[in-house]
Amino acid sequence: MARVVVTLRIMPQSPEVNLSELEKKAKHEIVKFCNSEEFKTEIQPVAFGLKSLTIFFVMEEDIGSTEKLEQKIAEIENVESVEVIDVRRAVG
């Protein structure tokens, strides 16, 4: 099967949340879920000082849905919401 690139947006509960710590915890859950350590992260401004954490990662397509991963990340302290905003087959 093919590999896919998943784009995951994580919204913290407030602007005071340490995004570096949140990123570490989310990446840990991603590694447990799909055994991949291919990441790229971006911090994007939302409004009023709030920033979202966007994590791009690669996983095998045959793993299937990311719903369980989203639930695990949503359980991390100070996470308001988690959503997959894009899934694309990797080329090459």
Q: What is the pLDDT along the chain (92 residues), one digit of tens a residue?
A: 789 999 999 999 999 999 999 999 999 999 999 998 899 999 999 999 999 999 999 999 999 899 999 999 999 999 999 999 999 998 76
Number of structural domains (the chain) is 1
The domain that holds 14 is classified in CATH as 3.30.70.60
Residue 63: per-residue pLDDT: 92
Could you give the CA distance from residue 6 to residue 12 in angstroms, rounded to a whole number? 19
Residue 92: per-residue pLDDT: 64
Total Cβ atoms within 10 A of residue 55: 19
Q: Tokens 């308001």 map to which residue?
A: 80
Could you give the CA distance from residue 76 to residue 91 in angstroms, rounded to a whole number? 32
Residue-number span of the structural domain to which 65 is assigned: 3-89
Residue 41: per-residue pLDDT: 97
Please state the pTM of the whole predicted model.
Answer: 0.92
